[in-house]
């Protein structure tokens, strides 16, 4: 197992390695097999999740042309399992994770849920051991480019898809419920469903326009919840 000091060097963290940082890399499967002093990283995940949501919210608030709905959508896309798993691999944190023998054999080092938990725990440990200013400065350096990639206007259909998948990972479908008028001057009505639940409605002179309007309607309702 590579040493955490090697990771700190790669990440340009010029701090003494403290106990909670080491604990952040102890998965529950390893802890239960070895009863390592200090415990697993499960409790640190809780703190890390809150820190990451606050950091992301602060960064998005600084974008002047983002309304509450847009900030909510982008935050949901960033503060989620898939995103955190990708960030873990980007920073190569998984190389230092301690897993139990069984979990290792089952490919735990590549499981999105385990990788996401590791990222949250690592950030939680940084916050508790080194404080707010250091942690937010570190996140600014390492995460800002990844967050910026989500701020591009992708259109309401793509935003709705990503918003839904970032949370409950269900499938969306668009259904034309009505087509009125002659073939050369038709108005379409579309409903977007999350599985069998109607999320939004839209209408337009083309199916694409009606789908976009239905997606906007669904997003407006979701971000208010």
HSE-up of residue 214 (Cα within 13 Å, Cβ side): 27
Q: Which of helix, strand or coil describes residue 152?
A: coil
Angstrom distance (rounded) from CA 117 to CA 99: 13
Contact predicate 218/225, CB 8 Å: no
Unique residue bearing structure tokens 């600014």 = 140
Angstrom distance (rounded) from CA 117 to CA 114: 5
State the catalytic residue, choosing from 120, 162, 213, 216: 120
Nearest CA among 93, 217, 198, 115 for reference residue 159: 217
Q: Which of helix, strand or coil describes residue 185?
A: coil
Q: Is 94 noted as a catalytic residue in this protein?
A: no
State the catalytic residue, choosing from 49, 103, 117, 211: 49
Q: Is 120 noted as a catalytic residue in this protein?
A: yes
Residues forming the active site: 49, 120
């Amino acid at each position: 197992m590579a040493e955490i000091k090697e990771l700190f060097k790669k990440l340009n963290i010029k701090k003494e390695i403290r106990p909670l940082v080491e604990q952040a890399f102890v998965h529950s499967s390893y802890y239960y097999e070895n009863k390592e002093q200090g415990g697993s990283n499960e409790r640190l995940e809780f703190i890390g999740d809150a820190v990451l949501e606050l950091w992301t919210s602060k960064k998005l608030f600084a974008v002047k042309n983002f309304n509450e709905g847009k900030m909510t959508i982008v935050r949901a896309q960033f503060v989620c399992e898939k995103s955190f798993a990708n960030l873990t691999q980007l920073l190569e944190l998984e190389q230092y994770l301690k897993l139990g023998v069984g979990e290792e054999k089952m490919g735990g080092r590549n499981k999105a849920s385990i990788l996401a938990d590791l990222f949250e725990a690592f950030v939680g440990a940084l916050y508790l051991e080194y404080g707010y200013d250091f942690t937010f400065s570190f996140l600014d350096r390492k995460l800002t480019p990844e967050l910026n990639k989500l701020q591009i206007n992708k259109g309401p259909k793509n935003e709705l898809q990503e918003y839904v998948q970032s949370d409950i990972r269900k499938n969306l479908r668009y259904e034309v419920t009505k087509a009125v008028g002659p073939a050369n001057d038709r108005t379409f009505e579309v409903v977007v469903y999350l599985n069998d639940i109607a999320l939004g409605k839209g209408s337009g002179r083309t199916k694409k326009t009606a789908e976009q309007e239905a997606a906007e309607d669904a997003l407006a309702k979701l971000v208010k919840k």
